[in-house]
Amino acid sequence: MAMVGELWSHLGSTMGTLMLVYTLFKQFFPYHLQVSFEKYFHRIVRFAYPYVEITFDEFTGERMKRSEAYSRIKSYLSDKSTASAKRLKADVVKDSQSPVLSMDSNEEITDEFQGVKVWWSAHRTLPKTQRISWYPNDDEKKYYRLTVHKRHRELITQSYISHVMMEGKEIETKRRQRKLYSNNPSQNWYGYRRSKWSNVLFEHPATFDTLAMDAKLKEEIKNDLIKFSKGKDYYARIGKAWKRGYLLYGPPGTGKSSMIAAMANLLDYDVYDLELTAVKENTELRRLLLDTSSKSIIVIEDIDCSIDLTGQREKKTEKDGNEDEPSDPVTKRVKEEEKKESKVTLSGLLNCIDGLWSSCGGERIIVFTTNYVEKLDPALIRKGRMDKHIELSYCCFDAFKVFAKNYLEIDSHSLFGEIESLLGETNMTPADVAENLMPKSDYDDVETCLKRLVEALEDAKEEAKKKAEDEARLKAEKEEEKQKQKSVKEEKEQSGKDDKEVKENGVALEAAEAKENGVALEAAEAKENGVAH
């Protein structure tokens, strides 16, 4: 025991001596001699120290801008830190759904990659003097240090660090709060804290589980979306930009907006709601789309009435007698002003979504919605631009069962058969079905809601029948009127023909009489002349 105490005594004395020598060395030796000494000292240490150290600073290069590498390493190490580190700290990271836990300063954790063990440690250096600074990298400096045996240098530098960056980015993407963006007018793009897009948190609850539509079509869309999200290498191999277009069309109230929300929730993408009427020209449109992030859905709703994109539709409208021209003078004036303000062309839009500019950024989905697909220019919706055309039509029985499960928490009922029959005979939008199924008071039970839907379907069936009869009657009346007009026209043509014949006959008769009178007169004159002779 005495020997152990003596050993510790000698060790303490030696450490004290070394600290004194180091202090004197730092205080009295010239700075250039200190640098030279440390340089050679590290060279000597490297022969005996078999490890490589890589440092990742929090702030590098541009001031006031945090290193992406540091942020991704922090995200990558957060789960491992929670599991093994003894000292943790919680940070509220921008756009994150919850505080992020990470290891505290001077803490170390281990990681393993392809059988190779590495060590991560967090460090910080405090400023020598207390002062107010405009830049964070002038004050406290934070950094992560990666330590690995030098025989694994190649594996770590060529594979492991890239693995950490990719995994960290994926973790950041999953943790972030998704947002719904809308484009600002171009006059708001400049100045202090101005931007091309404004945003709010995207918290729409729609998912494919709550989406009421044909089950087979729903599964097909989900598989297509998941396949796209995992297709980075595939798109690179076939030489196409990593994007996909969806055209959602159908009557109002068939769930086009809910479909977009379900797509965003499935893939964990942000949503950019692009309002074309606020874009003045093609250049602005291009800059807006370049400012969108990857893992996003770019939506242009009601594209058929957002803006006139072609001259072909205008010519067609003139030819058809301005069928789609709004009767309300106020609406007409607003549309005319929008046409004058916006100079976005079809070629400009196509170049942004499918031309050279479409390759600037990846993992984007472009969605067009319309109530009248026949109004869209074929060049806009051809395959390759709008790759998948999805018709969202009237409510079917599969969609009704989803509503019954979500709204009433039932899988079957005695009225289901009658409802299935009525849905097969009647066109009712999913929005109307949902409204009728939704309980209106605490006293509305399952039976009440289903009977209300049955009554609404029967009323819609009668209304559709009456409308069909009225249309048939109007069609018959139009056909009868058309026949009358045709008969009148034929009578007029016949009357005109008779008048022409009468006129021609009268002229011929007059000519014959005149000819006869002339011949008789000549004969009389000749006779008189002969008598005289």
The tens place of each residue's pLDDT in the chain, 533 residues long, gives 555 556 656 656 766 675 666 666 666 667 666 667 666 666 665 666 788 889 998 887 655 577 888 888 988 888 777 777 777 777 766 666 667 777 888 888 899 999 999 999 988 887 655 555 554 545 578 889 999 998 999 999 999 999 999 898 888 888 888 899 999 888 777 766 678 899 999 989 999 999 988 889 999 999 999 999 999 899 989 988 899 999 999 999 899 999 999 999 999 999 999 998 888 888 888 889 888 988 899 999 988 876 665 444 444 443 344 444 555 555 555 555 544 566 788 888 888 887 776 677 778 999 999 998 888 888 888 888 899 999 999 999 999 999 999 999 999 999 999 999 999 988 899 999 999 999 988 888 999 999 999 999 999 888 888 888 888 888 888 888 888 887 777 777 777 666 666 566 665 556 666 666 665 556 566 566 554 44
Q: Where are the domains of the chain?
A: 50-129+136-177, 181-318+340-391, 413-489
Residues 6+ apart with CB under 8 A from 106: 121, 122, 123
Measuring CA to CA, which residue among 268, 213, 221, 278 is closest to residue 244?
221
d(CA 303, CA 288): 17
Burial label, 262 (beta-carbon count in 10 A; 0-12, 13-18, 19+): buried
d(CA 220, CA 244): 15
Q: Which amino acid is at 217?
A: L
Q: Any bridge partners for residue 181, and if so which?
A: 199, 272
d(CA 417, CA 457): 13
3-state secondary structure of 36: helix
d(CA 507, CA 490): 25
Residue 115 phi, psi (nearest 5): 80, 0
This prediction has a pTM of 0.69
Helix ranges (DSSP H) in 49-130? 68-84
Helix ranges (DSSP H) in 85-231? 153-155, 161-175, 215-229
Q: Domain 181-318+340-391, what fold?
A: Rossmann fold (3.40.50)
Distances (CA, A) of 63 to 54, 97, 136, 137, 275: 22, 27, 8, 7, 35
End-to-end CA distance of the chain: 191
Instruction: Identify the DSSP state of 249.
Output: E
